[in-house]
Structure 1
Amino acid sequence: MYPTYTFQQKLKLFSVILIPILITQLSMYAMNFFDTVMSGRAGAGDLAGVAIGSSLWVPISTGINGILLALSPIVAQLLGANQKKDVPEQVRQGIYLSILMALLVTVIGLFLIDPILNVMDLENHVRYIAKYYLIGIGTGIIPLFIFNLLRCYMDALGQTRTSMVIILLSLPLNILFNYVFIFGKFGVPALGGIGAGVASSLTYWFICGITLFIIARVHPFSEDRIFTSWHSPSLSTWIEQLKIGVPTGFSIFFEVSIFSAVTLFMSVYSTYTIAAHQAAINFASFLYMVPFSIALTLTIVVGYEVGAKRIRDAKVYAYMGISFGVFIAFVSGFILYAFDEPVARLYNTNPEVVELTTNFIFYAIFFQFADAFGAPLQGTLRGYKDVNITFIMSLISYWLIGLPSGWLLANFTALEAYGYWMGLIIGLSAGAVTLFFRLIYLQKRLLKQYSPTT
């Protein structure tokens, strides 16, 4: 990371940081994409089981990883304020915290998997796949959380290409593991959708191991000597990280979990409907990795400028990222409209599933516009460390506006299952609008506060 003084310099630095993050996010989501596609090839029941399992796992994992994202603005602001000496201890305490949270999620999950699945109206085969998919993926929670914490550290230094290389190396391995465990190759029994969970867990262990080695041995990370001077866990440092991380994690959880809640509500519909919904949401979420990557980039560059008290420069970065997000929304919308049927056939070739999937994709065109606008706003506000108001807005927009309106439309109009997708559009749009006004207010306040030095 370094100061920039012209728009061209900012655009160059923004691109240098964004492109590796984008490739990393697309590659990471590609793992989930191939889990879903390859499970669908094993059968509609396996696809539905992975859909239910993912709907329970993804909001939890992304919410916890949202807490770990606190390290990015903390490190970025320390670098902007020329306080790099404080970075290593923040990383060490973050590792402690990530392990603790992984253990808590694992223990709680073991007690709640059966009760949650039992209250859902699922076919026995779908319930069985969902349960053991979750158990399989759960064996990789600890390395996953450690990797995500360390990735935040690497990215905040501006070294986003490192995490990109790690994920690019692991993606082919994940596909190979899926092939072996889903379809039963090389003497391994065919596990169907359950094999996707096992494959993901093994991949998490692989990427964590590589990351630990790079940080310990490779320049410039080795200069910080992260693993050579351990101290006892520091409650005060944990609290500092959690003050930023918990609201961030819950904001992300509220957004992601509304999609999972919709999937759970759809358990009353046919297995084909669940499978089609999962296929459509999976591909739309794959496209969402672009605005989400913009958000992660904005957290780093805005955080760096705010740490250096260059508030006007932070504002330029913010609107640069938001504009790019809006442009991406039009590109994504065209892709979804033009290639709906080919996309649907990637997941399942059953004619009924294909038709239902294309119908769901039509609605995805509209809610991804709100996502492409809202995600950069969230990333910008994280860079400012302004997370508490965002948390409240997310709760209201997604869970008090979006989900109830979807339920009403699904149960009291002819839209039925598609009503939930209308609810997604309403909730995401409300969230994006409120976050935009919050950003304008915050920028005006900080410009006034630091006007003597800007």
Structure 2
Amino acid sequence: MTIGIAANIPTSGLRSFLREARAIAAVGLPLALGQWAGVAMLTTDTIMLGRVSPEVLAAAALGFSIVMLPLMFLIGLAQGATPLMAHALGARVRYLRDVRRSFRQVLWATGIVCVPVIAACWQVGALLRLIGHEPALADATQDYVRAVSPTLLTSAWFVVLRNFMATFDRPRAALVIALLQVPVNGLFIYVLIFGHLGLPALGAVGAGIGSSLSGLLALVILGVFLARDRQFRRFHLFGRFWRADWPRLGHIFRLGTPIGLTITFEVMLFSAAAQMMGLISPLALAGHQIAIQIASTTFMVALGLGQAASIRIGVAAGARDAVAVRRTGWTALVLGCGFMGAMAVVMVIWRSAIAGLFLPDQRGPEAMEVLAFACDFLVLAGLFQVVDAAQVVAVNLLRGLQDARVPMIYAIGCYWVIGMTASWALAFPLGLGGQGIWWGFVAAIGTFAALLVRRFARREHVPSYRALFAL
């Protein structure tokens, strides 16, 4: 059985909108803060490694760029269980058992993928030498990647536990642990990088080991909290963990794989754009990195709101409440685009002051040129912000309705057919330089957002929970 959501749905009033907005924000903002904590840990690693030597920092930066792609896929795969748990909660059909099944099998799924990925990470040095990197850099990068590779599993599993708690409107414990992980990680890597407390100085390897240890510690603490919490204890989440559930595992792979690939395609677009920006000039690349960093900081809020809306729309769909599906969707879009629109105004008006925070000494000619590039890019980043909010909220809404394959196809076409082609053509043959690359971003993300919002607006049916699992 299905229920229509596209027609004859009354428009919600202001009071209903505000109530839904508060509910989305209550879950979305803690999720955004948790993602900021991840950025803070990366920043801490970069600052400390930069104090060792440029060579060590280069090895860690190259290693992190390698680890980032499988990490993004694993995080997307981990999100594949969230709509299933939300649907079960909304349907109230054996939801304790069904939530537990999805929770356990997404841990299985991410663990299965991690085995070959981590094995490949141990051979990354040979690959780097094969493509022409200096042997010393390849070896140093391989050592760092080997040390940091366990975070692939701990990060993915932490996301699973965090999303489970967010499904039940309990994201704060995961947020507190993520925030505490930042100073703990800083302490671990400080001791291991520079060799304190009688330990040898390990450099980049120390940063990898410290990150792995802090990630494992955060995961264990959150797992213990789930096992002891009165509300969550009744799920028996970790009991009989070894028992396979092949139908549910397959369902998670079918839903999570397109989500992971969509996120990976987006990361690859930005990585390729940085390579093109480097072909223009190193100073243009520096200005680009400043603009991207600023835009990424505000993007975390839109991402958190989208993830919260995905959970709420999944619960509404599980309850077959078409009015709630529609209300959650449009409220989340208004919140995300409204916030990012306000940030765009700030970004454009005060672009020089904001970019200047990344350049303490602006007196030299090179620093002034980097600042000029960053200010030019921030004007386009303001426009980019609004469409980026629309796409991240809309894609999460569709994921909440277990619609991930078509958005993945949209992502391939928009990011790699439109985005890469437009960025290259505008930057080089048409001579727009770095601004052309950013206009390519706007074209790709804008088209992707329009397709996703259109798909959500025209969606005719929400499948019932029983239909989804052939119960």
1:432 — aligned with what? 449
**Is the Cα contact below 8 Å between 1:21 and 1:293 reproduced in 2?**
yes
Alignment of 1:284 with 2:295, yes or no, is yes
Q: Distance in 2 between matches of 1:154 and 1:66?
A: 17
Q: Which of 366, 376, 392 is residue 352 of structure 1 equivalent to? A: 366
Q: Distance in 2 between matches of 1:398 and 1:88?
A: 36
Q: Does 5-14 or 296-305 show the bigger shift?
A: 5-14
Deviations 1:367-388 (A, max 9, x none): 2332122111111111111111
SS state of the match for residue 169, structure 2?
Answer: coil
State the 1:75 CA deviation: 0.4
State the 1:134 CA deviation: 2.7
Q: Which runs of 5+ in 1 are unaligned?
A: 450-454
2:9 — aligned with what? none
1:35 — aligned with what? 45
Q: Which of 57, 64, 71 is residue 67 of structure 2 equivalent to? A: 57
Alignment of 1:230 with 2:244, yes or no, is no
Q: Does 151-160 or 343-352 show the bigger shift?
A: 343-352
Q: Distance in 1 between matches of 2:430 and 2:48?
A: 35
Mapping of residues 53-452 of structure 1, within 5 Å: 53-83=63-93, 84-85=95-96, 86-112=98-124, 114-116=126-128, 118-119=130-131, 130-182=141-193, 185-186=196-197, 195-265=206-276, 277-337=288-348, 338=350, 339-345=353-359, 352=366, 355-356=369-370, 359-360=373-374, 361-362=377-378, 363-442=380-459, 445-446=460-461
1:452 — aligned with what? none
**Is the Cα contact below 8 Å between 1:20 and 1:161 reproduced in 2?**
yes
Amino acid in structure 1 at the alignment position of 2:317: V
CA, structure 1 residues 351+199, in 2 after alignment: closer, same or farther (shift >3 Å)? farther
State the 1:423 CA deviation: 2.4
Amino acid in structure 2 at the alignment position of 1:140: T
Q: Distance in 1 between matches of 2:289 and 2:147?
A: 20
State the 1:262 CA deviation: 2.4
SS state of the match for residue 214, structure 1?
Answer: helix
**Is the Cα contact below 8 Å between 2:28 and 2:301 reproduced in 1?**
no
SS state of the match for residue 458, structure 2?
Answer: helix
SS state of the match for residue 461, structure 2?
Answer: helix
Q: Distance in 2 between matches of 1:275 and 1:182?
A: 26
State the 1:308 CA deviation: 0.3
State the 1:250 CA deviation: 1.0
Amino acid in structure 2 at the alignment position of 1:21: L
State the 1:417 CA deviation: 4.8
- Scaled by the length of structure 1, what TM-score is found? 0.86
Q: Does 365-374 or 201-210 show the bigger shift?
A: 365-374
Q: Does 98-107 or 356-365 show the bigger shift?
A: 356-365
Q: Does 282-291 or 309-318 show the bigger shift?
A: 282-291
Q: Which of 21, 30, 50 is residue 20 of structure 1 equivalent to? A: 30
**Is the Cα contact below 8 Å between 2:101 and 2:245 reproduced in 1?**
no
State the 1:116 CA deviation: 4.7
C-alpha RMSD of matched pairs (Å): 3.2
State the 1:147 CA deviation: 1.5
State the 1:413 CA deviation: 4.1
SS state of the match for residue 33, structure 2?
Answer: helix
Amino acid in structure 1 at the alignment position of 2:413: I
**Is the Cα contact below 8 Å between 2:121 and 2:142 reproduced in 1?**
no
**Is the Cα contact below 8 Å between 1:280 and 1:357 reproduced in 2?**
no
State the 1:366 CA deviation: 3.4
State the 1:390 CA deviation: 0.5
CA, structure 1 residues 224+183, in 2 after alignment: closer, same or farther (shift >3 Å)? same
Amino acid in structure 1 at the alignment position of 2:387: A
- Scaled by the length of structure 2, what TM-score is found? 0.83
State the 1:49 CA deviation: 4.5
SS state of the match for residue 210, structure 2?
Answer: helix
CA, structure 1 residues 217+197, in 2 after alignment: closer, same or farther (shift >3 Å)? same
CA, structure 1 residues 156+173, in 2 after alignment: closer, same or farther (shift >3 Å)? same
Q: Distance in 1 between matches of 2:195 and 2:285?
A: 25
Q: Distance in 2 between matches of 1:108 and 1:410?
A: 35
Amino acid in structure 2 at the alignment position of 1:96: W
Amino acid in structure 1 at the alignment position of 2:373: N
State the 1:68 CA deviation: 1.0
**Is the Cα contact below 8 Å between 2:154 and 2:216 reproduced in 1?**
yes
Q: Distance in 2 between matches of 1:430 and 1:309?
A: 30
Deviations 1:198-236 (A, max 9, x none): 332222111111122112112222121112233522221
SS state of the match for residue 297, structure 2?
Answer: helix
**Is the Cα contact below 8 Å between 2:17 and 2:331 reproduced in 1?**
no
**Is the Cα contact below 8 Å between 1:48 and 1:271 reproduced in 2?**
no
Identity %: 26
Amino acid in structure 2 at the alignment position of 1:331: A
SS state of the match for residue 123, structure 2?
Answer: helix
Amino acid in structure 2 at the alignment position of 1:446: H
Deviations 1:90-117 (A, max 9, x none): 2112212221111121113333454257
State the 1:135 CA deviation: 2.8
Amino acid in structure 2 at the alignment position of 1:14: I
Amino acid in structure 2 at the alignment position of 1:341: A
Q: Distance in 2 between matches of 1:436 and 1:139?
A: 37
State the 1:87 CA deviation: 1.2
Q: Distance in 2 between matches of 1:275 and 1:192?
A: 25
Q: Distance in 2 between matches of 1:174 and 1:336?
A: 31
Amino acid in structure 1 at the alignment position of 2:66: L
CA, structure 1 residues 215+366, in 2 after alignment: closer, same or farther (shift >3 Å)? same
Deviations 1:397-424 (A, max 9, x none): 0011101222233332434455433322
Amino acid in structure 1 at the alignment position of 2:113: M
Q: Distance in 2 between matches of 1:129 and 1:275?
A: 24
CA, structure 1 residues 448+88, in 2 after alignment: closer, same or farther (shift >3 Å)? closer
Q: Which runs of 5+ in 2 are unaligned?
A: 1-14, 465-471
Amino acid in structure 2 at the alignment position of 1:80: G
Task: Work out the number of aligned pairs and report it.
Answer: 443
**Is the Cα contact below 8 Å between 1:181 and 1:192 reproduced in 2?**
yes
2:21 — aligned with what? 11
Amino acid in structure 1 at the alignment position of 2:115: L
Q: Does 389-398 or 208-217 show the bigger shift?
A: 208-217
